[in-house]
Chain A
Amino acid sequence: MAELTYRDAVARGIAQEMARDEDVVFLGEDIAKAGGVFKTTVGLLEQFGPLRVRDTPISEQAIMGAAMGAAMTGLKPIAEIMFSDFFAVCFDYIANEFPKSRYMTNGQVRCPLVVRTANGAGVHFGAQHSQSVENWAMMIPGLKVVAPSNPRDVIGLLAAAVRDPDPVIFFEHKGLYPTKGEVPDGEIVDTLGTAKIVRPGKDATILALAMMVPRAIAAAERLKAEAGIDCEVIDVRSLVPLDTQTILGSVAKTSRVFTVEENPRLCGWGAEIVSIVADEAFYDLDGPPVRITTPHIPLPAADKLEDMVLPNEARIFDTVRRSLEG
């Protein structure tokens, strides 16, 4: 067991899979010689060489297309898109090409690839480098979508993504890169499609993803200490496949559900989960489901303004307390 940053966990996860399988290759902008603009891929070029760890031009369509063509013909590429906002310039591949090729060809074509990308805010880069775009991926049939919240999950879910036969969008959170966590020694392989109860509780279920997970846990601790409200916090981790069993099981126990979403409000993942809860667990509920989200705005760059609009510990605390005590 060692303490590792979320940033270093990315490189360890990639290295674990590249050492295991020579068909795993890695491409992206500034990922080889420079070790990644967020220093998430330091040492991989030295360890695996320039044929397997390749710097690309600033050509997101070429990166995604090349990953797809390589995956179709036998490799297991990991492609980095530097910021998830840049999905918008290569969205054809994410939306039209690799998710649909298996279906359209009646199962002839397979695309076992992973797209890693730095998602989310917290670093005050403004509206085009800070978005939470997991719903852009979640809405597309054929994709799997995961977003780890801690270093151990980074390694385990990345390994699961690389070994999965379907295309997986892997959202790292750039605000979490410097955070640390305990990571066991040796190989770590997790399971896609599994949520995790990170804080058990009985009074309310709080669902969170990525950087919202530590904030939800902190709010839950305060709710317990200051209001005697015992919240169960679930790290959703995997949006597709979605672990509805864990979510519905928790709601059956607590009878209240809150989502904490960094994305702008409309069509966030929480809306999908709330609709599932409403359909399938309506009579378990003691009150309306509540979504805590960023407002439906582009993100402002100024640190004070960005900090105000993202869901934070205080907002989660206040919202849950008002809802339960109201």
Chain B
Amino acid sequence: MTSEARAKPVAAPPSLANDDIGEQTRLHIFRTQVTIREAEQRAYDLFLQNLVKGTSHLSLGQEAVAAGVAAAMQPKDLSFCTYRGHAHTLARGVSVEKVLGELMQRDNGLMRGKGGSMHLTSVEHGVMGSYAIIGAHLPIACGAAWRAQYKGHDDVSVCFFGDGTTNIGAFHEALNFAATWKLPVIFVCENNLYMEYTAIADVIPASIKHPAADRASAYGLERIVIDGNDADEVYRTAQIAFAKARKGDGPSMIECMTYRYSGHSRADPGKYRPPGELESWQKRDPIKMYRKRLLDFGIAEAAIADIEAEVRHIVDTATEACKAAPTPDVSLITSDVYADGGWAWRN
């Protein structure tokens, strides 16, 4: 679990009266987490039915990070995600059907099957891409933030990545760059303890406990480590970072401790994990914890159950729509290589 929590849980007894987040936002955060959970679980089931093609990287167990950060974002803010980006894409409001359609490589997919699971992008939702080369998108997010700084826009770019990213060069180039230019960018590390198949702890010096936050300190950024399974803590921490970025006070790095329930990708059963580790994290399941908190705050069981049922219905409907959707048109093979819409490289 987290070794240190920055924003402490609300002091007992919880109640809507002293709630700094508010019922509406809490229900939104809950709905986002449930949507991610149900959609990811469905993606896994569809994979077992051979209906999800190619690869896919699920965020089961990590829902609170995407949901908490997204709740703190304004529509104009931009997300830069990784190949494990279904969660962050859904959290910005992209429809389940568009995401599942892309995973199933159908014509109704977000990019009509041209990108696949690892490259979910929805510019109209501020999802500026999912990047499948580790670390590539940290400098890209810096560039978007540079544009905001230069143009005097007050949007913020958010860049999600995993613990494994902290050892690649682009991570360090981006941190130095963002800190030096005081760019309005927020780096969100989802530390789920494993890069792909290897524990992050096996590949960093023993003196480094938190590979993103500890290194961020070297670039003059505050060392922030939070419980990534607590969506409220993520939300509160992100709010502080957004306010700082919008004020022109530069970047933040937030390291969120969390855990993925599935393997790295669909090819990985996750056998490298010690016995009991998964179960211990499942006891702190982000959605179960959040559901209980909603009840503690006096929100009615029926209201919660309604959201769950509604999300399941959306996912079921999306699944059927995707199954019925045609495969992408062959004309897409050569479309949009260049800005003229085509692929001509010669006259």
Choose from B80, B123, B143, B180 the contact partner of A70 (Cβ within 8 Å): B143
Cα distance A162–B137 in the bound complex, in angstroms: 23
The smallest beta-carbon distance between B31 and chain A, in angstroms, is 26
The answer to whether A242 and B173 have CB atoms under 8 Å apart is no
- Closest chain B residue to A164 by CB distance? B339
Cα distance A59–B135 in the bound complex, in angstroms: 14
Given contacts A66-B142, A69-B157, A75-B150, contact A93 B136 (CB under 8 A): yes
The answer to whether B343 and A65 have CB atoms under 8 Å apart is no
Q: Does B332 contact A (CB under 8 A)?
A: yes
Q: Does B24 contact A (CB under 8 A)?
A: no
Cα distance A241–B340 in the bound complex, in angstroms: 12
Cα distance A99–B105 in the bound complex, in angstroms: 22
The answer to whether A59 and B173 have CB atoms under 8 Å apart is yes
Choose from A68, A241, A245 the contact partner of B143 (Cβ within 8 Å): A68
The smallest beta-carbon distance between A88 and chain B, in angstroms, is 13
The answer to whether B147 and A73 have CB atoms under 8 Å apart is yes
Given contacts A102-B336, A104-B114, A105-B114, contact A141 B345 (CB under 8 A): yes
Cα distance A101–B140 in the bound complex, in angstroms: 12
Binary contact track B110-149/A, C-beta < 8 Å → 1, others 0: 1110110001011100001101010111111111111110
Q: Collect the chain A residues with CB atoms within 8 Å of residue B336's CB.
A: 102-103, 106-107
The answer to whether A105 and B141 have CB atoms under 8 Å apart is no
Choose from B114, B128, B133 the contact partner of A103 (Cβ within 8 Å): B114
**Best-surrounded residue of A52, A107, A141 (most CB of chain B within 10 A):** A107
Binary contact track A69-87/B, C-beta < 8 Å → 1, others 0: 1111111010000000000
Binary contact track A84-119/B, C-beta < 8 Å → 1, others 0: 000000001100110001111111111010000000
Cα distance A65–B146 in the bound complex, in angstroms: 11
**Best-surrounded residue of B139, B157, B170 (most CB of chain A within 10 A):** B139
Cα distance A22–B32 in the bound complex, in angstroms: 40
Count the A-B residue pairs with Cβ separation under 8 angstroms: how many? Answer: 163
Choose from B129, B157, B170, B339 the contact partner of A166 (Cβ within 8 Å): B339
The smallest beta-carbon distance between A106 and chain B, in angstroms, is 4
- Closest chain A residue to B134 by CB distance? A92
Q: Collect the chain B residues with CB atoms within 8 Å of residue A71's CB.
A: 143
- Closest chain B residue to A98 by CB distance? B140
Given contacts A71-B143, A103-B114, A108-B111, contact A56 B121 (CB under 8 A): no
The smallest beta-carbon distance between A63 and chain B, in angstroms, is 8
Q: Collect the chain B residues with CB atoms within 8 Å of residue A135's CB.
A: none
Binary contact track B304-347/A, C-beta < 8 Å → 1, others 0: 00000000000000000000000000001001111101011111
- Categorize the interface residue count of chain B: 35 or more
Q: Does B177 contact A (CB under 8 A)?
A: yes
The answer to whether B114 and A62 have CB atoms under 8 Å apart is no
The answer to whether A105 and B115 have CB atoms under 8 Å apart is yes
Cα distance A112–B170 in the bound complex, in angstroms: 22
Q: Does B78 contact A (CB under 8 A)?
A: yes
The smallest beta-carbon distance between A297 and chain B, in angstroms, is 29
Choose from A56, A66, A92, A240 the contact partner of B133 (Cβ within 8 Å): A92
The smallest beta-carbon distance between A276 and chain B, in angstroms, is 8
Cα distance A242–B112 in the bound complex, in angstroms: 30
Binary contact track B157-186/A, C-beta < 8 Å → 1, others 0: 100000000000110011011001100000
The answer to whether A105 and B176 have CB atoms under 8 Å apart is no
Given contacts A65-B143, A72-B143, A74-B151, contact A57 B345 (CB under 8 A): no
The answer to whether B142 and A106 have CB atoms under 8 Å apart is no
The answer to whether B123 and A108 have CB atoms under 8 Å apart is yes
The answer to whether A107 and B335 have CB atoms under 8 Å apart is yes
The answer to whether B332 and A109 have CB atoms under 8 Å apart is no
8 interchain residue pairs of minimum CB distance: A65-B139, A69-B143, A165-B339, A66-B143, A59-B173, A62-B173, A69-B144, A104-B115
Show the binding face of A for B, using Cβ within 8 Å.
25, 51-52, 54, 56-57, 59, 61-75, 77, 92-93, 96-97, 101-110, 112, 141-142, 144, 164-166, 193, 240-245, 276
Query: Can you list 22 residue pairs at the A/B interface with Cβ under 8 Å?
Result: A62-B174, A65-B137, A66-B140, A66-B143, A69-B80, A69-B143, A69-B145, A70-B144, A70-B147, A72-B129, A73-B78, A75-B150, A92-B170, A97-B133, A103-B336, A105-B111, A105-B123, A107-B335, A109-B128, A166-B339, A242-B346, A243-B346
